């Protein structure tokens, strides 16, 4: 696949696009033995011999997919101005840089996928692909059937109705109840806002499934790497979501 030299260097994680442009301008990059200083040149990183300061490009990092049970008390951003603990601190044995796919609140626990596969991460987060997210929400009080119906059909949060969701009550108590809610949107603090909107604020929140991945028996703070078959299924999931949309359009 041909692409612009500076973009190829950025994609391979050699440098940011701007830094790659500087390297090219400074005459430090050769393609098939020739110094290249023009910006527009296209290369195929599998066929062309590209050297920087006379050295070949490092091999691309292997793709890593880690499924973490995020504990409460960790942020899912990679830098926190308040210096709170960061989820990647928990991935002790992973030396490549991975990023969380989406976010969970500081006080939410549960399934968080982390990867360096930028393409899959983008698709799983893009509203177009509608990846499903299932949560167990311990809420205050004892929701009536009508409240559950509202959660299913859509409630207004910040002036906009939420899309249809799956919602059911797993346990009912006087003081608190346990709801299971599946959504396909990714609005900020969506579950807390939906439950608050029907009069049952969230006390505890845990994500139990994401796309076709399940949290399983991982303890909070533990993670495991996905098996290649699971990665294949995840990619199929995205393809099926796209096809579903196509079929709905054509049908």
Active centre residues (catalytic): 105
Total residue count of the chain as it appears in this document:
251
Contacts of 95 (CB under 8 A, 6+ apart): none
Residue 198 binds ligand URA (CB under 6 A)? no
45, 77, 190, 208: which one contacts ligand URA (CB under 6 A)?
190
CA 183 to CA 133: how far, in whole Å? 5
Q: Which of 140, 88, 147, 144 is nearest to 113 (CA)?
A: 88
Q: Which of 247, 248, 250, 244 is nearest to 130 (CA)?
A: 244
Nearest to 14 by CA among 62, 63, 65, 51: 51
Interface pick for ligand URA out of 5, 14, 104, 215 (rule CB under 6 A) = 104
Q: Does 162 bind ligand URA (CB under 6 A)?
A: no
- Of 9 and 223, the one with the shorter C-beta distance to ligand URA is 223
**Does 77 contact ligand URA by CB under 6 A?**
no
105: contact with ligand URA by CB under 6 A = yes
**Dihedral over alpha carbons 200, 205, 211, 217 (to 10 degrees):** -140
**Least gap, CB of 84 to ligand URA (angstroms):** 15
Binding flag, residue 8, ligand URA (CB under 6 A) = no
Whether 207 and 215 have beta carbons less than 8 Å apart is answered as yes
User: Is residue 180 near ligand URA by the rule CB under 6 A?
Assistant: no
CB of 191 to ligand URA, least distance (A): 4
Count, residues near ligand URA per rule CB under 6 A: 8
Among 10, 43, 191, 209, binds ligand URA (CB under 6 A): 191
- What is residue 237's DSSP assignment? H
Which range touches ligand URA (CB under 6 A), out of 49-57, 90-98, 187-195, 227-235?
187-195
Retrieve residue 112's tokens: 């968080």
Give the number of other CB atoms < 10 A from CB of residue 152: 16
Determine if 72 is a binding residue for ligand URA (CB under 6 A). no
For ligand URA, which residue of 123, 192, 200, 206 counts as binding (CB under 6 A)? Answer: 192
The contact set with ligand URA (CB under 6 A) reads: 104-105, 108, 189-192, 205
């Amino acid at each position: 696949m041909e692409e612009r030299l500076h973009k190829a260097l950025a994609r391979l994680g050699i440098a940011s696009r701007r830094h790659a442009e500087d390297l090219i301008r400074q005459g430090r990059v050769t393609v098939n033995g020739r110094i290249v200083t023009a910006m527009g040149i296209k290369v195929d990183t599998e066929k062309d011999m590209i050297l920087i300061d006379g050295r070949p490009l490092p091999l691309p990092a292997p793709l890593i997919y880690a499924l973490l049970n995020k504990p409460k008390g960790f942020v899912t951003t990679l830098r926190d101005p308040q210096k709170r603990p960061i989820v990647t601190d928990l991935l002790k044995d992973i030396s490549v840089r991975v990023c969380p796919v989406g976010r969970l609140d500081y006080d939410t626990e549960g399934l968080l996928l982390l990867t360096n596969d930028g393409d899959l991460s983008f698709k799983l987060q893009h509203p177009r692909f509608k990846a499903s997210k299932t949560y167990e929400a311990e809420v205050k009080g004892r929701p009536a059937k009508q409240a559950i119906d509202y959660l299913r059909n859509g409630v207004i949060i910040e002036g906009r109705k939420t899309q249809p969701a799956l919602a059911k009550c797993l346990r009912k108590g006087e003081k608190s109840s346990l709801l299971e809610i599946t959504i396909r949107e990714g609005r900020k603090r969506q579950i807390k806002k939906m439950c608050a909107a029907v009069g049952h604020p969230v006390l505890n929140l845990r994500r139990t499934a994401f796309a076709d991945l399940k949290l399983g028996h991982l303890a909070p703070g533990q993670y495991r790497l996905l098996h290649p078959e699971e990665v294949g299924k995840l990619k199929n999931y995205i393809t099926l979501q796209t096809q579903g949309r196509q079929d709905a359009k054509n049908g």
